[in-house]
Structure 1
Amino acid sequence: MFQGATVKNEGDSVIIGRIVKGGAAEKSGLLHEGDEIVEVNGIDMRGKNVDDVSEILANMSGTISFMVIPVSQEVIPPSPQQRTATVHLRALFNYDPEDDMYIPCPELGISFMKGDILHVINQEDPHWWQAYREGEQEQQSLAGLIPSKTFQEQREAAMHVLTPDGKENKKKGKSCGTCGKKDKKKSKKKKKQSLYSGSGEDTEEYLTYEEVMRYYPQPNRKRPIVLIGPANVGRQELRDRLINSHMDRFSIIVPHTSRPKKADETNGKEYHFISRAIFEQDIQQGRFVEYGEFEKNYYGTTLDAIRRVINQGKICILNLEPESLKIMRSSDLKPYVISVHPGNLEKLRQIHIKLGKSRTTDDELKQIIDDAREMEEVYGHYFDYVLVNTDMDLAYDELLMEINRIEMEPQWVPQEWVDNYM
């Protein structure tokens, strides 16, 4: 790579393979992709490989003169959209160009982490796009390379063919979630539950990028906050503290159940009581975010129950299992997903002691940490924010601060949310 351009060999010729946005080559307007470099400052380039050319150019200083053979004018120019449109993407995988043997110029590659926002300014190359990482446009005048969506999907598919057992084992390792039932009397009992998403088995999905757009907070339409995390990580306590401290601002949903109503219960208060037949009909119609069965009765959380809270002008706080996130994100609810993640073993032990769970063993604590890691690996592309719980008071303050922030500042959300659900 030199002066904002990369070169490649075609036979004995040295060809300009790419003009990088923001570089000197682009600004000059004199060099174009496909031009053959014949001489540089009088040095013949023909027959030299790209490594030799790069070394020669790296040792040059001052004015550099190129003798080129222009690319044929028959080359089809890029479309106006390719030339000018900026596409905003959320990365759904981690990437380090130094580990990528296929990148044409590692020095030009951009490293990024899952969740980073990338602003793609050039998609002319089918394999390598030019982009900036969010917040770095001012500091980085030269665009960098990232693998294109199609190219990355092809590599993921090839990797899956080579190591199919790796992905299959991940899927088999998914833990079964619990239903949305929030009955304090029942919560102390061990429940064997069966969670259903209502959408059948997931098809193979290769996680690369998600196109996003800016979403501006709407005062009359609060985004529901979904707390995700392993059991006994503290998210239940965080949810209850939010509700109890700000009852006028936050609310939980009223779940549905097929069990009979007790004498001291009111329909619509503790539960929405419906028949088993109606419950199963609602399942078939996709009205539940998640549901489970306990002692031959259904319990579950409906999309409409969440909407009722939103229509009251309150923020709905939900403790859901990660299997439910796909349904939430495909709805019109625009959830904001916060993963509550444990700290190290000692921090987690101290939290359990403060919560009156001093009998939790080290093996049980380690299992919580392992469950959180697996959850992040499988579902981390759905997370908007990761809250590491090392202290309940600090975690609560951080959680409240993040909720306050998204009520005031714009956020990047999937493009279809803005296109379809505004």
Structure 2
Amino acid sequence: MVSSSPYENNRNGVGNKTYYYNQEQLRKRKEEEERIAAQNEFLSQPLRGSRRLQALESRPQGAINDAFTEDDAHESSRSTTPGPPSEKEVVHTVYGYGDLVASVQRLQLQLKKVGSGGGLGGLEGRVAAVQSLLLSPQFGRALAVHNKVQSVRNRIAHRPTANAQVALRDCLDALGNSQSAYAVELATLLTGYELEALMVAHDGVASTLPPDSTTPLPSTTETIPQTLPDHYGADNIKIIKIEKSTEPLGATIRNDGDAVVVGRVVRGGAADKSGLLHEGDDILEVNGIEMRGKSVNAVCDILAAMEGTLTFLIVPAAAQGRGHSGRDSVLHVKAHFDYDPEDDLFIPCRELGISFQKGDVLHIISQEDPNWWQAYREGEEDQTLAGLVPSQTFQHQRESMRLAASERYPRTQRKSTTLLCGKTPKRKKKKGTYAEGGYPMYANTVDEYEPEEILTYEEVALYYPRANNKRPIVLIGPPNIGRHELRQRLMEDSERFAAAIPHTSRARKDHEVDGQDYHFITRAQFEADILSRKFVEHGEYEKAYYGTSLDAIRSVVNSGKICVLNLHPQSLKILRTSDLKPYVVFVAPPSLEKLRQKKIRCGEAFKEEELKDIIEKAREMESKYGHFFDMIIINNDTERAYHQLLGEINSLEREPQWVPAAWVKAL
């Protein structure tokens, strides 16, 4: 028998025991660290289903749950491709608020039983923080929205969804930079017109399908603490996705109490092209950010910073009795005022506003909003996004309020006398005064003192020139500005231009020819024609009537020539309501200094007060009658002004023009 040496006993006894003890400590410490790390990772992730809570609650006290670790490791090694759900697996879970709170409380109790000696002291603080979060009203609100979303998802899980176009874009993005021949061929097939049209058709049909009535509605009996209003039922909530680039979304919003409601969807924008967002829709969330309770400015700032796919959680307008149906036909209008959205405090979205000037033509493509129309400026129809302009009613109302607020003094005595007493003020006859046309200047009997008219828009339509019906050219402007010279230059081409022969009640002189110098009629006949509104303008000079009749202008037009007229601005109202379709040119003076230099250059005597009077009268004319003007010529140089006028007349015979819509409808 071989005895053991002390050395051998020490090595095989105490030494071995110490070795195994150290190994056991290391193993337990490693397992404890792995368990703590697993729990920390678990608690740091959001709750995604009842399975995780059940796993926490089912752990034995003070023991290592090796099955949980193995289960996690097994699941992490699986393929990420989702397979068909099993009978026991819940795809979309609706959480009960009370159940969540109770689960966290049970977890907190389990941790207390384990004690801080197990190294779980830090976990107790985290669970307490989670419990505090669950008890907050914000979490209750978020949970309510989550449950509503999951209810809708469960209900429509077995019906087609309108996301084929999005899936197609995702697929193309995935192919992206691949140089594989198969990838290139697949991308070519996916970008074909036929497949794209098929995806559009699919989404269009899917969006019109009714809900699948065979799919049972999930239970919504859980208690929701102070969440959404009662009318937000599960059937009302809708999820939509819109692709947004760096350009504006193309929609405006407004506050309706705490709600954020779509005010309008602007034509041409991302929202309009998607067809998913409509006026009156109540926006609950965008990309998980709650919108209710936020101001319009705050929501605009949030949306402006977002790009890519925007996921909206909305309550459709149809579910609330909001919104408009149908699209208006295009309305073409001429603006009679200047507008800059930067100066408008009432515009709902300043970035979508478009500026315009008096005389610009606007194409109104939507009048659904009573206060804000959607429009394009003439020549900018190729713009993707329409702009906002004040509606006719809204502009008229606020202009009326502005005038009422600025009216500090009553009307002048002369106006008061005309209105209250019904008496026409006496006008002094001008003796020896002649117009620039060479014939006597006579006062128009149209009431000179009319209440101020509020101008907004005028409906217009395209008029195509006709060789046998040429538009008369009317020159308007202050005296001594050169209208007569311009008219005479045009009249030099007698084959193309002609003047209207005036009427008079005075006796014919020996050298005068009736119908060539004047149309001579009796005083009684002249007065009868005045009452019949046959004269564009008329007046009395040295006890005789003079006037330019509509028939005299029409006679020139019927002869195939262009009638050139020098008229007072008051005559435009009668002329524009006729069938003659005049083209009105305002001959305006230059600045005071340039007007002075022109007079000196032409060798004309002048007084400084006369020059200032010319400029002041021109301003008054433009302010009062500017909405009648089709063209403005600044006559700083007569030769240049003549060629500018002649060029415009030439274009009238070749190109269509925007004219009052009533002129075209009457054809």
Q: Is the TM-score greater than 0.5? A: yes
1:1-47 per-position Cα deviation (integer Å, ceiling 9, x unaligned): 95111111122221111111110011111111111211111112222
Report the RMSD for the aligned CA atoms in angstroms.
Answer: 2.5
Shift of 1:344: 1.7
Contact 1:41 1:64 in 2 (8 A): yes
Structure 2 counterpart of 1:213, from 450, 453, 461? 461
Q: Residue 167 and residue 52 in structure 1: after superposition, are their counterparts in 2 closer, same or farther (change >3 A)?
A: farther
Q: Distance in 1 between matches of 2:574 and 2:481?
A: 24
Superposition pairs of residues 389-408 of structure 1, within 5 angstroms: 389-408=635-654
Q: 1:346 aligns with which of 577, 593, 606?
A: 593
**1:342·1:369 contact (CA, 8 Å) conserved in 2?**
yes
Partner of 1:266 in structure 2? 513
Percent of aligned positions with the same letter in both sequences?
56
* Aligned match of 1:288: 535
Q: Does 1:331 align with 2:578?
A: yes
Matched, 1:133 2:377: yes
Aligned counterpart in structure 1 of residue 277 of structure 2, from 14, 17, 31 = 31
Asked whether 1:232 is paired with 2:480, we answer yes
Change (3 A) 1:79 1:29: closer
Aligned length, in residue pairs: 407
> 309, 325, 329: which is aligned to 2:556?
309
- Residue type at the aligned position of 2:619: R
1:372-419 CA deviation, whole Å, 9 max, x = no partner? 111111000000000111101100000100000111100000011011
- Kindly state the Cα deviation for residue 153 of structure 1 after the two structures are TM-superposed: 1.5
Paired AA for residue 329 in structure 1: R
2:263 equivalent in structure 1: 17
C-alpha contact 1:90 1:118 (8 A) present in aligned 2: yes
Q: Residues 88 and 120 of structure 1 are in contact (CA less than 8 Å); yes or no, is this contact kept in structure 2?
A: yes
Question: Residue 437 of structure 2 contacts residue 484 of structure 2 at CA under 8 Å; is this kept in 1?
Answer: no
Distance in 2 of aligned mates of 1:164 and 1:243: 46
Q: Give me the TM-score of the superposition, normalised by structure 2.
A: 0.58
Distance 1:385-1:177 versus aligned 2 partners, 3 A rule:
farther
Between the aligned partners of 1:383 and 1:166, the Cα distance in structure 2 is: 30
> What one-letter code is carried by the residue in structure 2 that aligns with 1:263?
D
- Aligned CA distance change for structure 1 residues 201 and 331 (closer, same or farther; 3 Å): farther
Of residues 54, 60, 63 in structure 1, which corresponds to 2:300?
Answer: 54
Work out the CA distance in 2 between the residues paired with 1:54 and 1:311. 60
CA gap of 1:232–1:59, structure 2 versus 1, over 3 A, is same
What residue is the counterpart of 1:383 in the other structure?
629
Distance 2:436 2:262 in 1: 63
Matches within 5 A, 1:145-294: 145-164=388-407, 184=438, 193-197=442-446, 202=450, 205-244=453-492, 246-294=493-541
Q: By percentage of residues, which structure has more helix?
A: 2
Aligned: 1:67 with 2:326: no
Q: Given the two structures, how large is their TM-score scaled by the length of structure 1? A: 0.90
Q: Give SS of 1:238's match.
A: helix
Q: Is the 8 A contact 2:328 2:368 kept in 1?
A: no
Alpha-carbon shift at residue 349 of structure 1 (Å): 2.8
Q: Corresponding residue for 1:90?
A: 334
In the alignment, the residues of structure 2 paired with residue 333 and residue 419 of structure 1 have an alpha-carbon distance, to the nearest angstrom, of: 14
What SS class does the counterpart of residue 309 from structure 2 fall into?
A: coil
Structure 1 unaligned spans of 5+: none
CA contact (8 A) 2:333 2:460 kept: yes
Cα distance in 2 for partners of 1:225, 1:63 equals 57
1:115 offset after TM fit, Å?
0.5
Counterpart position of 2:196: none
- For residues 176 and 216 of structure 1, what CA distance do their matches in structure 2 show? 44
Asked whether the 8 Å contact 1:256–1:300 carries over to 2, the reply is yes
Q: How far apart are the structure 2 equivalents of 1:176 and 1:55?
A: 65
Cα displacement (A) at 1:352 = 3.1
1:408 alignment partner, SS class: coil
- In the superposition, relative to structure 1, how do residues 217 and 318 fare at CA in structure 2: closer, same or farther (>3 Å)? same
Distance (Å, rounded) in 1 between the aligned partners of 2:607 and 2:336: 35
User: SS where residue 278 of structure 1 aligns?
Assistant: helix
Counting only pairs closer than 5 Å after superposition, residues 104-143 of structure 1 correspond to structure 2 as 104-138=348-382, 140-143=383-386
Change (3 A) 1:205 1:177: farther
Structure 1 pair 102/141, CA: closer, same or farther in 2 (3 Å)?
Answer: same
Q: Give the conservation status (yes or no) of the 8 Å contact 2:472–2:557.
A: yes
Residues 137/202 of structure 1: CA separation in 2 closer, same or farther (3 Å cut): same
In structure 2, distance between residues paired with 1:400 and 1:38? 61
Q: Point out the structure with the larger strand share.
A: 1
Flag structure 2 segments of 5+ consecutive residues without an equivalent. Answer: 1-246, 416-426
Q: Distance between the aligned counterparts of 1:51 and 1:367, measured in 2?
A: 50
Partner of 2:184: none
- Distance, in Å, in 2 between the alignment partners of 1:381 and 1:228 is 13
Shift of 1:160: 2.9
